[in-house]
Amino acid sequence: MRLVKLIANLGYGSRKEIQTAIKHGWVTDRDGNTLKADAKTAHEDILFDDEPLDPAVGMVVLMNKPLGYTCSTKDQGKLVYDLLPDRFRVRKPALSTIGRLDKETSGALLFTDDGDLLHRVISPKADVPKIYEAELDRPLNGSEATLFASGEMMLENEHKPLKPAELEVLDDTHVRLTLHEGRYHQVRRMFAAAGNHVTALTRTHIGRLGLDGVSEGEWMLLDEDQLAKIFA
């Protein structure tokens, strides 16, 4: 791939803008040598304005999503993409969320431009667990763990029972719930069906990948070891 197309596809600018950047010497290798448009330099050795290029296709981002942000590129109001560099919006292939968190749910949210990886994470066959912590409006009645683990729980307007889920009680109104599927507003609907109401909800882990070191509203690129934790 020609250098101009490579950098443009990463969202750093139009092809014309990248050509101008190359002309002005803003694209170099790690030794500081100015690169020409036909350079054969390896992706990892290219600098744009003295900074390494973003990863090529296969990039995975972990965000600690704050409350009030929508997982969309088109909705009104605050969007999770507003928290990422502008160039991430125009990458080719596009950067997409892997699943979603609703506006009133915070925590671990993944993005990728790798369609195969996206489908691998969300596929029911992968059985990637998602762990949530929830604050409840009222104390537990004691039957929730058995109900959620039964594999027989039905949600309103659905015709297939939920997969067994594990409930850990942290205190009377604070729980940790591990799901093995991702239905619409599942945690909130499960507790509503059990006669309670979720007042705050955070996803803490996707697989074994947690949010250690990622503050609310911040994000990080995942390396191979971190990515492997999703499927561990």
* pLDDT, mean of each 10-residue run, the chain (232 residues): 91 96 96 93 95 95 98 88 95 94 97 95 92 98 97 94 97 97 96 97 98 96 96 90
- Cα dihedral across residues 13, 18, 19, 21: positive or negative: positive
The span from the CA of 81 to the CA of 221, in Å, is 15
Cβ-contact 104, 201 below 8 angstroms: yes
Equal CATH topology for 60-124+209-231 and 130-206 = yes
pLDDT value at residue 1: 61
- State yes or no: is 102 an active-site residue: yes
The span from the CA of 86 to the CA of 13, in Å, is 10
pLDDT value at residue 232: 87
Check if CATH label 1.10.240.10 holds for domain 130-206.
Answer: no
CATH topology of domain 3-52: 3.10.290
Q: Which of 45, 54, 86, 102 is catalytic?
A: 102
Q: How far apart are the first and last CA of the chain?
A: 34
CATH number of 60-124+209-231: 3.30.70.580
CA 1 → CA 24, 36, 40, 66, 178, distances in Å? 21, 13, 9, 37, 43
The span from the CA of 84 to the CA of 61, in Å, is 10
CA 47 → CA 51, 156, 223, distances in Å? 5, 54, 19
> What are the tokens at 61?
């981002």
Q: Can you give the residue ranges of every domain in the chain?
A: 3-52, 60-124+209-231, 130-206
pLDDT value at residue 31: 94
